[in-house]
Structure 1
Amino acid sequence: MGDTRFMNFLTVMAAFCMNGIELGPIKSFGPFFIQFQNDLNASASQSSLVSSLLFGSYFMAGPVASLLTARLGFRRTFFVGAMAAATGAIICSFARNIIAVQVLTVLIGGGCGLGSVPKFAVIGRRFSKKRSLANNVVTMGSALVTIPLPILIQYWNIQYTWRGSILILGAIFLNIIPFGMLLTVDIDTQESEKTQLFNTELFKSWKFICYVISCGCNLSAMTAISIYLVRFGQSKGFGDYTAATMASFTSAPNLIIRPISGYLTSLTHIGPVPIVRPYVFAAIGVIQALVMIGMTFSNSLEAVIALCLAYSVCVGCRGALTVTMAADFFGRDALVTSLGMRALSQGLFSVMVPPLLGIIVDATDSYNPPFYGSAILSLTAAVLTVVVHCATSKPCNDASVEIPA
């Protein structure tokens, strides 16, 4: 019994660290924005595309990760992903133009994304009753890393230039390998399961299309903020370090909110009040949109930090709900397809939206449009989710559903 508990603890901690190493740097690329503009003569649209490609390639690597895990096993997939991310970062440090940086960030993001599917697959194998709690703890890894990392990257940029900063990140990506080995210490690395990759019937449902678009809007709303927040703070005259600190404030509350939100939304009722996940998701989306609009009217550092904290609470509350609602709306048997298409949609939206907002930034010479765009996307995701909920005949509160965020 003691050995089992220790192995469970070891598995969660290894996955927690991997999540921080893989996703933390991708969420913390904001300080590079102005570096690319100044050193590579890139426009706002070109610079924002770097982070867009990072997010997009991370999520769109999901189907590839599934295939590699089936063919190579868990450990080899972790190794391939870590080497791809580290190689991309090392070569990127020698890039001489923004196009080369953009191409290489696809390799970085895709390499990091290869670890996501097998990481949560291992968690799914080890846990049953407490799987939801384990998954929430794992996803806190990136939130923890994103607190200090933007500030560290800003410091590295000053001390070693942006090239040195990316080289350091390349070394950090290599740590995926030992944590991947630790994560799979008692799992057969060649074990695989044959699964149906696509349930084609889902593509005939307009509700499924609405759900997929909603997921893309939801994530791209957050992607836009992570990309433009630091530059927004700099444009307000807050200073480079202070602006980088703003990105940290958007992550800190996640450490508290995510497990609480995961527990509460797994319940069917709190007292006499029913917990309907799509309505919770939509209500928080409206609040998040209002926070983003309020950000554009704030000029004092205190007000901006307060809104960053409010935004972080909203993100923490909504973070895992789109995954859980996939099973609510379309059932367990369709999870492979629904979550796969969810990841693809999130990747595509993350690639397209920030550069489009960057074009508006270049045209208006203002960093307010990304916040308006984020608000619109959040509201769109909220509306589409409620529409799907109202249109489906399936119940939206199967408390037994526990799948990775």
Structure 2
Amino acid sequence: MANWNKVGVVCGVFLTNFLVIGPFKSMGVYFLVFQLDLGASAQEASMALSIMFGTYFAVGPLVTVMCSFFGYKSTCLIGMTLAALGVCLSSAAPSIGFIYVTVGLCLGSGACMAVTPMYALVGQLFTDKRPFVNNIVTLGSAVSSVPLNLLAQIWIDSYGWRGSLLLMGGVVLNALPAILFTMNAASRCNAKQKAGRRKVFDTSLLKSCPFLLYCVANGFYIANMVLVATYLIRYAQSLGIDNLAAAGLSSIMAAVEIVLRPVSGYMSSLKTICSFRVNRSYILGGAALLQSMFLFTLPFVTDYLGVAIVVVACSACVGAAGALPITVLSDLFGPEKLPTSLGIRTFSMAAPPLVGIAVDATEMFSLPFFFSAGFSLIAGVCFVIVDLCVKPPEDKEQVVVEAETKPQDSHETKT
């Protein structure tokens, strides 16, 4: 029965990602309407999505505190309500500044509150296959992105962007039964649903150069992803591609992730493949470097087929990396460092509006992909460097054990 309850937790977290993070990732469809109907520049329109992604990472330490005081279930329900309320209120936005609050702050922070406790439950219940399970549960957002990107554009064409946002808010509200189901299944597994009191922001980590470098790499990697999510559809529209076909590019990205994430999760869960040791840092770094190469070629493609091919190639790299940024962080520094890392990498939210200034000045929507390629290149190199500088915690423990046992063995030999 316990195993079935664990399956229930996985299904519940998957559905929560499907209904909360899916709409979160689909906000790029509204980039053009924010420009046309609210009179926003590229910088101002991208700022809304930038605040949303930045807030999602910034409130990680706050969610830890909320879990300590209110428990996992209450934190998830508060987050789901805040996210749905933010999306629904956006339908009444009189200006782009209103969108900054509703989509940027409310949806960003609400999504983090809704899913972060879920990941904590998965971490408690699964150890050996944690990378594989993490990829399965995060797959929910990719599965929902396939229809939601297209549906959002269809809703915009049929009901206007305000009606579309109301419908998207209803999608988020449907996460309520998924959250309740997950918490009920977790309680039957005796999972601890209240975080222990611990240091929210570990300032001692700021003295660790490898840790800071890893956080910088994470930040650049996230900045690259945010730029693609923000400008891909708008770039396709600037080429004269139909709005629905342009929205379909995001669905293509999600579909490729759906195929590759389970494979990536399974492969990264193995210790060796064909007698070769699996190094998750190298997989992550290699995927980022390949993605950089494909992103660099995207601005030179001007037809839909060519753009779709490059998008598939980039999505394959994203799918190969999967949830490895978080998994590698735990491997190298320990899972207790996660809240601090999420807080540090929030500098990535500055990338879209800064790039938006360049787009406004040049009116070139291909420009963000050169920046994205550079960010991905920096991230890939840094991931590899950090792995060369840091010995994982379990290896360190093994060295200590060997150091302690060797003198004792030599003493016994002499005796």
Q: SS state of the match for residue 269, structure 2?
A: coil
Q: Distance in 1 between matches of 2:240 and 2:308?
A: 14
Q: What CA deviation, in whole Å up to 9, does each residue of 1:202-224 have, x standing for no partner?
A: 21011111111100100110110
Q: 1:232 maps to which residue?
A: 235
Alignment of 1:2-401 (within 5 A): 3-105=1-103, 106-186=105-185, 187=187, 191-330=194-333, 332=334, 335-337=335-337, 339-349=338-348, 351-394=349-392
Could you tell me which runs of 5 or more consecutive residues in structure 2 were left unpaired when the two chains were aligned.
397-415
Aligned length: 391
Larger mean Cα displacement after TM superposition, 241-250 or 294-303 = 294-303
Alignment root-mean-square deviation, CA: 1.9
Q: Distance in 2 between matches of 1:145 and 1:294?
A: 28
Q: 1:21 to 1:271 in 2, by over 3 A?
A: same
**Paired residues of 1:78 and 1:176 also in contact (CA < 8 A):** no
Amino acid of the residue matched to residue 136 of structure 1? N
Amino acid of the residue matched to residue 177 of structure 1? L
Amino acid of the residue matched to residue 255 of structure 2? A
Q: 1:363 to 1:396 in 2, by over 3 A?
A: farther
Q: 1:329 deviation in Å?
A: 2.3
Q: 1:190 deviation in Å?
A: 6.4
Q: What CA deviation, in whole Å up to 9, does each residue of 1:52-87 have, x standing for no partner?
A: 111111222211211111111122111111111122
Q: SS state of the match for residue 118, structure 2?
A: helix
Q: Distance in 2 between matches of 1:59 and 1:89?
A: 18
Q: SS state of the match for residue 146, structure 1?
A: helix
Amino acid of the residue matched to residue 109 of structure 2? G
Q: What CA deviation, in whole Å up to 9, does each residue of 1:167-211 have, x standing for no partner?
A: 112222212221111001142886442333343322101111111
**Paired residues of 1:78 and 1:115 also in contact (CA < 8 A):** yes
- Please state which structure has a larger fraction of its residues in helix: 2
TM-score of the pair, normalised by structure 2:
0.89
Q: 1:28 deviation in Å?
A: 1.1
Amino acid of the residue matched to residue 251 of structure 1? A
Q: Percent identity?
A: 33
Q: Distance in 2 between matches of 1:170 and 1:15?
A: 19
Q: SS state of the match for residue 28, structure 2?
A: coil
Q: 1:17 to 1:122 in 2, by over 3 A?
A: same
Based on CA coordinates, which of the two structures has the bigger radius of gyration? Answer: 2
Amino acid of the residue matched to residue 9 of structure 1? V
Q: Distance in 2 between matches of 1:216 and 1:164?
A: 34
Q: 1:397 deviation in Å?
A: 8.5
Q: SS state of the match for residue 219, structure 2?
A: helix
**Paired residues of 2:135 and 2:322 also in contact (CA < 8 A):** no
Q: Distance in 1 between matches of 2:175 and 2:113?
A: 11
Q: 1:82 to 1:393 in 2, by over 3 A?
A: closer
Q: SS state of the match for residue 348, structure 1?
A: helix
Q: 1:228 deviation in Å?
A: 0.4
Amino acid of the residue matched to residue 308 of structure 2? I
Q: Distance in 1 between matches of 2:301 and 2:394?
A: 38
Q: Distance in 2 between matches of 1:396 and 1:372?
A: 39
Q: What CA deviation, in whole Å up to 9, does each residue of 1:1-52 have, x standing for no partner?
A: xx22322222111110101222111211122011011101000010011111
Q: What CA deviation, in whole Å up to 9, does each residue of 1:245-298 have, x standing for no partner?
A: 011111111112112112222333321433222222222212101111111111
Amino acid of the residue matched to residue 238 of structure 2? S
Larger mean Cα displacement after TM superposition, 20-29 or 384-393 = 384-393
**Paired residues of 1:65 and 1:115 also in contact (CA < 8 A):** no
Q: SS state of the match for residue 250, structure 1?
A: helix
Q: 1:127 to 1:283 in 2, by over 3 A?
A: closer
Could you tell me which runs of 5 or more consecutive residues in structure 1 were left unpaired when the two chains were aligned.
399-405
Q: 1:402 maps to which residue?
A: none
